[in-house]
Structure 1
C-alpha cells in the first residue's frame, strides 16, 4: 500500500515533537452569570426588573423621626435680659437698650431687626398688635406695611396722627411666615410690653386682633365675639381700659362696609374715653 503523500510530513512533525496538525480546542470560558430575573411575586405585582442593577443608587436612609431639639435660651444678660434690668429701665430708650439683644425665644435668632415700638412716650392712646411682618422686620418699625398704612388712616379718622399714639406688638421679632406667635414666644416678650405700658401710662389700650387680647388681657374668645366690648388689664397695680378691635390685616382681607364700620365704632369709643380721661385729669389738676 502506497503511503499517503502527507505521511512523510506527519512523521517529520512527530520527530520534532509536534503531535498533530490540529490545535487542541481551548477550554470554554465559564459563562458570566446573567442578572437575576424578576421574582414571581414581582411579576404578579407588575414590577419590572431594573435594567442595570449594579448602577442603581443606594436607597437613602429615612429621616429620623426623633423630635427636634428644644431651643436653649442663652444665659447672658444681653441674650436673656433679666427682669431686674427690665424693671430698672427708667425710660423707653433705656428699656430698648436693655432688651434689643434679646434671644430668649426661638424668634430672636431668625430676626433681621428688633421691632421695639415707636410713638409718643406719653401717649394717651396705645395700640398693641401681634408681631412684626416682613416690612417691619426689614425696617425695625411696627406697622409700616399695607396694614400699617391702613392703621394710619384709622388713627387719622379719629382726629389723631400716628405720632400722637404709641404702637407696639406682643412679640418684638417676626415669626416665620408671619404665623401666630406661640404661647412661649409671647411669654418671653410679655414682660417687655408690660414695662412699656408702665412707662407710657396710656389712658386706653386698643388691641388689634386676637393675639394681644389673649396674651395681654387673658381673653381667649374669638375677636369677632368680643370686639367693641370694653375689657381691662392690670399693669403694675393700675387698671387700664382695653378696647379690642380687628387687626388692620383682617380689615384688608375682609374689606366690607360692616367690618370698616365696626372698627370705626371701636376707635371712636376709645377716643371718647381718652378725651374724657384727659378732661377728668384737667379737673383734678385745677382742684
Structure 2
C-alpha cells in the first residue's frame, strides 16, 4: 500500500505564527490566557494548556496584569476594548491575512453595504463582522440567500472568509448579481487555502482512498473533506491515528493524506507510522 502525502499538508503560516507567539509567552511571570481555541485543533490547545496557557470562554477582570492572546482567527473589536478595560495586556496572534480582510472591509464599508461569504458562527467571520460599524449580511451558501434583506441593498462589496471554496463563492455571486444592481467581489481567500483546495482535487483521483486529518471544528479541514468526498467516496475525516479502521484499507493500493492547516506534523507522522504497520510504505 503506497502512502502519498499532499505537498501542502499541515500548518499554514498564520497557524504556526499564532502557536509560536503563544509558546514564547509561556513560562513567564504573568498569567497567559486565550479567549477560545488559539487554533482549531484540540491537540494544539492541549499542548499549550500543559505549558500553562489557559483557555477561557469569557473575559473576567484581570488579576496582576495578565496577558490575553487573541487567537489566529481574530476577534471583534469589542473583545479588544473589553480586554483593555479589564486590565489585560493584549497580544494579538490574529493571522496577518485575516487582518488584511479587516482593513479591506473597513475601507469598503464607507461606500458600500458589506456582504460576507462565510460560516455565520465561525470565529473568523465574527471577527470580521465585529470590525464594522454596521452589521454585515453573512451568506453561507447559495441556498442561504436572504432575499428580503438584499432587496434594500443597491450597492454591495462582497468579501470572503479566508477558507471558502471557489465553487461556493462563484455560486453565491451568480445569485447576488441578479439581485443587487451594483455588486463587486473582493476575493479575500487565503493563498494557502487556495493551494490546499487545488491539490485536494487531484489527490482523490490519484488514490484509492483519502484521509483528511484535522479537528471537527476546523473550517479549512471541513472544506478539504467536502471537496475530496465529492470526488472519491472513500474519503475519511480523522483527528488522529486512533480513528483509523483496518477495514477501510482492504484492497487499497494507494492512500492519499491531506492534513488541515491547524494539524500538527507529529499527528500526521503518527498516522503514517500506523499505516506502515498495516502494510503501507
* Short-chain TM bin: under 0.3
Determine which structure has the larger strand proportion and give its number: 2
Greater relative CO, 1 or 2 (CA 8 Å, sep 6+) = 2
Q: If you compute each CA radius of gyration, which structure gives the higher value, 1 or 2?
A: 1
